Structure 1
Amino acid sequence: MGPLEPNYAELAFGLVVFFLIFAMLAKVILPRAERILAGRRDATEGRQERAEALRAEADATLAALRAEIGAAQHEAARIRQEATDEGAALIAAIRAEGQRERAELVTSARASIALDRELAEIELRAGLGELAVELAGRVVGEPLAAFAAERESVERFLAEQDGAARPQRH
């Protein structure tokens, strides 16, 4: 038998075994290999899709956080500005209150000084009249208190002095 003359029984047996192995490969092994490859492809593509979805979600979260941070910074700036304005208003109010109290104190002090001056002047006039009458009595050698009280000469003299002195003050 040579290479050109095949043995048909062996050839038939070889073909049957080949088709059996081919059928077994086609029915059992290839579908299993196909499922394994599909699973790997799904896992690879799924991971990639999940990674892209996570990246998109992370980008959205980052954008939202940046927006919140921007809003928070804007709110903080607004609050700082309000606090600055409120502080300036409080300082102005306190300054105005202080100036008002100072003006009240100055007015009150001036009134008190004027009253004290008037009281001191009245007291001095009374004392001046008594001293003048006593001194005049010593010079004359007689008590002049009754004479001065009867004629009201001391009060008249002081009134004349007030009339003459007042125009000079203004």
Structure 2
Amino acid sequence: MTLTIRSRREEDLPSLASTLVSVHAVDGYPVEGVADPKAWLRHPREIQSWTAAQDGEPIGQVTLARAQPEDDAAVAWHEYTGGDVDRLAVLARLFVAPGHRGSSAGRLLMETARDFARSRRLAVALDVMLKDRGAIRLYERLGAERISDIDHRYGDGLTEAGVVYVI
């Protein structure tokens, strides 16, 4: 079986949306967005998105997005580094189909996004909910540095405990 990482294509979205719904059923990730998964996958501030494909079939994805000053990750990163948020990309929308975990897809997606950002002299930060233990293990294995604890606010006054990492 051949695992590849490539730029996400429009034709990947139906399969990725279906995968996202299955990820949510297993992990509760994402905490919002599964009512319209195709729309959620189209990040409004997308810089670039990539698809992990096993033998050509999409099994996961990641997005780099332009940071906004009010983003949880951007606030924490700015407080930690004092850097200009215009030089920050936020890693987002990372998931791998439950049946393909352990295939290195998550690691390869992360490395692809990180390397792309570095080639453009962008720092990378991300936020993750504490309940997403598998994601946290992946980030820490890849050398991500935990810089802040947060309360992620979403929906109608809901919150979820999280952390911010830099990679």
Tell me the TM-score normalized by structure 1.
0.17
Structure showing greater radius of gyration is: 1
Q: Which has the higher helix share?
A: 1
Higher relative contact order (CA 8 A, sep 6+): 2
Q: Which has the higher strand share?
A: 2
